[in-house]
Amino acid sequence: MSVNVNLRIKQLVDYAVRKKLICEEDRAYITNGILAALGEAEYIDVENAPEAPLEEILSDLCDFAAEKGIIESNTVVYRDLFDTKLMGVLTPRPSEVIKTFSALYSISPKAATDYFYKLCLDSDYIRTYRVAKDMKWVYKGAYGDLDITINLSKPEKDPRAIAAAKLLPPSSYPKCLLCHDNEGYAGNTGKPARQTLRQIPTTLAGRKWYIQYSPYVYYNEHCIVLSADHTPMKIEANTFARILDFVGQYPHYFVGSNADLPIVGGSILTHDHMQGGHYTFAMAKAPMETAIKFSCYDDVEAGIVKWPMSVIRLRSQNKQSLVNLADKILTAWRGYTDESAFIFAETDGEPHNTITPIARMRDGKYELDLVLRNNITTEEHPLGVYHPHAELHNIKKENIGLIEVMGLAVLPARLKEEIAVMREFILSNKDFATDERIEKHKAWFEKFKDNYTFTEENTEEILKREIGKTFEKVLEDAGVYKNTESGLNAFLRFIATIR
């Protein structure tokens, strides 16, 4: 074995001790675990090994494993499988993590989540060096400061990994990416390695759920709260009870659930889950602009939120009142039709109305936002009437899920290159139509190009500003009631039906 590999092993073990993933007494045991993963039987200790970035250490160890043939193909998918295996050797067992979390929770919920989030960073479950590559900026619009992100931290599969995944035999274990069975799973070309995944059990509305963090962190302390049972997404009274239970247990976090219907729901509808975190989105900052009252709920403050989507905000110290009222609103909305506002509860037996709920604590009270959703499609809008319309698909075509609803755009990775190419073409006065990468943006650009004088210094910022403005329009498209006088009147007609 080369000295370089001895050095990298020592640096990796030193890193684990320094980050308190392991204790000093674990050093020999962990070193042997790494040697086993590398297929090595010999080791020469390196004294006074200098510190090195974790990414660099793991990269060299993956190179070594590839040279030895331990990694089948020296590509990102196979390297991720292997370096996760290495880090899994260093990551504390679930029972240890739960024990530490519980002890810290008795001090404060924030102390517990601070520990757990740091563990996920230190164990490389959250690859901070990839997250750092994401493009992020803020668009100051009519509804507040919208967060715009181009996500670059989720690696794309290479063709060889895709081909290998097709050859894998059908597998029902784990049933999906959100099942508890993923904890410690070795992974393959079809499913990610999860040896560094850790989950914290919790009880919500009388049922067992788990808390984990998202490896892609779209915002600070982005967590996923998932059912212990592999059951499909369903918005119901228990959903409201669960999310309010959660923010009661973790008052520094918000939590919300994607809707339970296609188009307006999330990417995974087969496993009931929620998303939360330690972050304040623009929607949470938006004020209630139209106060509303619900009979028999004098202990609930309510109003329509100033937001591009259609949001009813409820606020009370009485959790059960919120659950009961939210269920009434959901039941009314599920069955509500207003042809004049193009709201149909169902067509041909297919239901269209649902809700995206979000909860938080504010000034000692529970606050619940209910976002009205409808997934009807037409010939003119085959992807959804209340979905980004075709003229915006150059920027955002995908579903508008929970994260976008709250005011954070998760835009496709292709836009990073396309922004750079558009900048070059604008400054060179070239036609977008001559390049297949950006021809889709030509009509979009034509709409605003005469509003600006483009320079070397400002062109990229102008493009980012217009992308932000487009995302604002995306949210307006997704709103079932528009921010107009007729839209507000239609919204109030629905509210009047809630008994």
Euclidean distance between CA atoms 444 and 390, whole angstroms: 11
* pLDDT computed for residue 1 by the predictor: 47
CA terminus-to-terminus distance, the chain: 75
Spans of the chain, pLDDT less than 50: 1, 3
* pLDDT computed for residue 479 by the predictor: 97
Global pTM? 0.93
Structure tokens at 303: 């109003």
Which among 353, 352, 387, 346 is positioned nearest to 372, based on CA atoms? 353
What amino acid is encoded at 128 in this protein? T
Rounded to 10°, the helix 76-90/3-18 angle is 60
The DSSP symbol for 72 reads: S
Rounded to 10°, the helix 109-122/94-105 angle is 150
Q: What DSSP string runs through 162-174?
A: HHHHHHSPP--SS
156: left (phi over 0), alpha (psi -120 to 50) or beta: beta
Euclidean distance between CA atoms 333 and 300, whole angstroms: 19
C-beta neighbour count of 313 within 10 angstroms: 22
The DSSP symbol for 297 reads: -
* pLDDT computed for residue 3 by the predictor: 47
* pLDDT computed for residue 171 by the predictor: 75
